Amino acid sequence: MLQEAPPGVGIKSGWRSTERQAQIFAAHGNNRHVAARPGHSNHEHGLAADLSFDSPEAKRWVHQNAARFGLHFRMGHEPWHIEPIEATADDTHWGRG
């Protein structure tokens, strides 16, 4: 998707360790409505990325075309967080057999 995206689309955050997820969770007051609990983030399994957009047009393009690449923005309150369509909420074993 990034190869076809217009200029100004990047990956701000991808895989992260459980320790890093714990730091993010704590920084948001341990509020699971703002950040996933450690062990429950698809970032920890390499199945999520937080994108950056340099323009509204770049963001619009990615949102309009993500499904073409098997991706979606599952969390409406995080319009930068993208995952494979098959990944589900709180499914930390997706793709792990």
Please tell me the pTM assigned to this model: 0.82
CA–CA separation, 20 vs 8, rounded Å? 26
H/E/C letters for each residue in the chain?
Answer: CCCCCCCCEEEEECCCCHHHHHHHHHHCCCCCCCCCCCCCCHHHHCCCEEEEECCHHHHHHHHHHHHHHCEECCCCCCCCEEEECCCCCCCCCCCCC
pLDDT in tens, 9-44: 999 999 999 999 999 999 999 998 888 999 999 999
Asked whether the predicted pLDDT for residue 92 surpasses 50, the reply is no
pLDDT in tens, 62-89: 999 999 999 999 988 899 999 999 886 5
Q: For residue 97, what pLDDT band results from cuts at 50, 70 and 90?
A: very low
- Looking at per-residue pLDDT, the higher value among 20 and 95 belongs to 20
